[in-house]
């Protein structure tokens, strides 16, 4: 299937058919879109960024959301995550925000986190996921289909409530990670006082009907043509284009029409303020944007664009909103806080929390710290490993990277260090959201805990994760071995029997079964 690159096939990027292909990609693949080597997502789903966002949104609520009075049954305060994808970010956010410690520290409010997506399959996956059910049972988690670019009611699947345009009275918090780069943009170039529209033609160089192959085998052509600055119905967008046209040294830029439309649409859900936290591949500083080459569509599993956060900041300011940015050179991820309809309220807590948890020591700094740590993972000492695990809030990539060095260091650890290791292992297991085909850390965690004679903790990890572990061969072996080492050989035997039915010749399963049989024979003879 191919689209010819004759001139009439070049269109503004925002009107290109690729956005429907993008929707099909996520709708068809569901949560499988987030498997390893598909769509990158670690930088926006790790525990550090989840806790950073949670603290900032607490600041927003502190400024704008009144505390609940006894017996007050008004609507809850909603936190809507747009494009929640694998669910890993949401899980980290929920674990921290609704922990006993955090709930005890803040004023009483009814807060409900709403995971949304355009994929019905992904939403069904979340609703069935055992790690999310406790939050549903607490009444703090709901799910909904949400297309941020279309005006439709948001029907909550658990509470059966409906959020309609202009019906909410309470302030609304929104999270949008790796969303703005994946919804419609237009491309332009400004030079010598002239504005050029950079139109796009796509060519699909495959006859396959598999959406992954269609996206992977899409090529693009580009054509520039002079244009005016009265392109859009939205006059604020046109004024921003006019400002860019006049830039002395010119620039190549994307224009995030999808992001700006989505912010408008989300802001209309409430009569009060709307605050959006967004993390994406992009830039806010105008000098950075001016150094960019002609803008092109990138491929990171799906189609994506470098986000022009400067245009978003200009638009928000024109709408009398507030735009928060780290304001310094970044290494990987651009972060933005977007406050719409703030009115005359003072923004003390939100500003302080954004400065503290995004600007000063934020997710971008953590990501670079992880990169530095990766250079010497195999040689880190035990105190360094423990510090990295604490700083990362139990991040799985830190744990996996340090695991060899950890195993090497444990024989020389004193009793207090061993207790610290046990505590951090429990945190790693607790914060890990099981949503992809990567190896479950519980297999290694169980091995280490048993080696430290932490049987109580090993039983806890086994009980919590058994339903996940028995879905894989390695996990099933870990379950059987743990049961055996906890003195429950009679429970380990049926686990191994099921595995040997699936894989009759599995050598490790056969060897463990032989040891268990030998042990039972010795017990009988005794």
pLDDT at 523: 56
- Residue 5's pLDDT is 58
DSSP code per residue over 93-140? HHHHHTSHHHHHHS----EEEEEEES-HHHHHHHHH-TTTHHHHHHT-
How much is the pLDDT for 300? 80
Taking a C-beta distance cutoff of 8 angstroms, is the pair 469, 442 a contact? yes
Beta carbons of 119 and 85 less than 8 angstroms apart: no
Nearest C-alpha neighbor of 37 from the set 335, 438, 328, 508: 438
Token couple for 409: 């260091």
Q: Is 121 exposed, middle or buried (0-12, 13-18, 19+ CB in 10 A)?
A: middle
Tell me the per-residue pLDDT of 278-327, one tens digit each, with 9 for 90 and over: 999 999 999 999 999 999 999 888 899 999 999 999 999 999 999 999 98
The number of C-alpha atoms within 13 Å of 410 and in the hemisphere containing its C-beta is 19
Residue whose C-alpha is closest to residue 119's, from 89, 82, 90, 151: 82
Q: Which two tokens stand for residue 106?
A: 């803040």
What is the pLDDT at residue 68?
A: 62
pLDDT number for residue 1 = 41
Residues in the chain, overall count: 526
Question: Which residues have C-beta within 8 Å of that of residue 360, sequence separation ≥ 6?
Answer: none
Q: How far is it, in rounded angstroms, from Cα 325 to Cα 178? A: 16
Contact between 349 and 62 (Cβ < 8 Å)? yes
What per-residue confidence (pLDDT) applies to 524?
Answer: 55
**Rounded (10°) angle between helices 507-525 and 489-502:** 150
Angle subtended at Cα 241 by Cα 235 and Cα 244, rounded to the nearest 5 degrees: 145
Token digits for 425?
Answer: 């292992």
Q: What's the CATH fold of domain 367-524?
A: 1.25.40
Q: Report whether 52 contacts 357 (CB < 8 A).
A: yes
What is the number of alpha carbons within 13 Å of residue 332 lying toward its C-beta? Answer: 16
pTM, full prediction: 0.94
Look at residues 180, 174, 359 and name the one whose alpha carbon lies nearest to residue 259.
180
Residue 67, pLDDT score: 64
Q: What angle do CA 315, 49, 406 make, to 5 degrees?
A: 160
* Class for the domain spanning 46-182+262-366: alpha beta
Q: What is residue 2's predicted lDDT score, i.e. its pLDDT? A: 46
- 282-283 and 154-155 beta bridge pairing: unpaired
CA 179 – CA 262 distance, rounded (Å): 10
Extents of the domains making up the chain? 7-23+184-255, 46-182+262-366, 367-524
pLDDT of residue 38: 73
Q: Do 46-182+262-366 and 367-524 agree at the fold level?
A: no
Question: Which parts of the chain register pLDDT below 50?
Answer: 1-3, 70-72
Residue 70: the pLDDT is 45
Contact 164, 153 (CB under 8 A): yes
Q: What is the DSSP letter of 377?
A: G
CA gap 202, 17 in Å, rounded: 8
Q: Are the C-beta atoms of residues 487 and 481 closer than 8 Å to each other?
A: no
């Amino acid at each position: 299937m191919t689209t010819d690159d004759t001139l009439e096939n070049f269109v503004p990027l925002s009107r290109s058919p690729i956005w429907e292909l993008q929707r099909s990609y996520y709708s068809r693949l569901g949560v499988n879109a987030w498997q390893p080597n598909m769509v990158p997502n670690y930088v926006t789903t790790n525990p550090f960024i989840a806790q950073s966002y949670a603290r900032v949104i607490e600041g927003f609520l502190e400024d704008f959301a009144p505390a609940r009075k006894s017996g007050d049954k008004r609507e809850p305060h909603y936190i809507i995550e747009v494009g929640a994808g694998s669910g890993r970010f949401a899980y980290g956010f929920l674990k921290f925000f609704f922990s006993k410690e955090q709930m005890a520290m803040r004023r009483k409010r009814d807060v409900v986190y709403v995971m949304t997506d355009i994929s019905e399959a992904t939403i069904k996956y979340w609703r069935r996921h055992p790690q999310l059910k406790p939050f549903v049972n607490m009444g703090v988690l709901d799910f909904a289909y949400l297309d941020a670019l279309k005006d439709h009611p948001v029907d909550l699947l658990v509470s059966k409530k409906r959020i309609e345009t202009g019906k909410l009275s309470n302030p609304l918090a929104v999270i949008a990670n790796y969303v703005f780069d994946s919804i419609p943009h237009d491309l332009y170039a400004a030079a010598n006082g002239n504005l050029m529209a950079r139109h796009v033609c796509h060519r699909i160089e495959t006859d396959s009907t598999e959406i992954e192959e269609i996206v992977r085998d899409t090529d693009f052509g580009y054509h520039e043509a002079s244009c005016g600055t009265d392109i859009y119905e939205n006059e604020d967008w046109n004024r921003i284009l006019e400002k860019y046209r006049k830039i002395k040294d010119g620039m190549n830029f994307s224009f995030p029409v999808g992001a700006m439309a989505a912010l408008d649409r989300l802001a209309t859900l409430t009569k009060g303020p709307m605050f959006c936290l967004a993390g994406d591949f992009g830039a806010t500083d105008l000098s950075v944007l001016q150094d960019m080459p002609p803008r092109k569509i990138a491929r990171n599993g799906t189609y994506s664009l470098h986000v022009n956060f400067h245009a978003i900041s200009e638009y928000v300011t024109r709408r009398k909103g507030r735009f928060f940015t780290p304001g310094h050179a970044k290494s990987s991820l651009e972060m933005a806080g977007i406050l719409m309809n703030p009115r005359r309220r003072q923004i003390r807590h939100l500003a302080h929390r954004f400065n503290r948890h995004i600007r000063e020591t934020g997710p971008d700094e953590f990501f670079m710290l992880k990169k530095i740590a990766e250079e010497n993972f195999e040689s880190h000492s035990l105190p360094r490993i423990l510090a990295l695990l604490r700083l990362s809030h139990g991040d799985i990539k830190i744990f996996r990277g340090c695991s060899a060095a950890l195993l090497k260091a444990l024989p020389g650890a004193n009793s207090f260090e061993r207790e610290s290791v046990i505590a951090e292992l429990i945190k790693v297991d607790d914060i890990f959201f099981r949503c992809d085909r990567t190896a479950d850390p519980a297999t290694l965690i169980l091995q280490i805990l048993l080696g430290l004679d932490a049987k109580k903790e090993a039983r806890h990890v086994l009980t919590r994760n058994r339903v996940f572990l028995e879905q894989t061969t390695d996990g099933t072996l870990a379950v059987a071995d743990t049961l055996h080492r906890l003195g429950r050989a009679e429970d380990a035997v049926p686990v191994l029997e099921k595995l040997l039915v699936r894989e009759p010749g599995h050598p490790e399963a056969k060897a463990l079964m032989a040891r268990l049989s030998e042990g039972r024979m010795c017990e009988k003879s005794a």
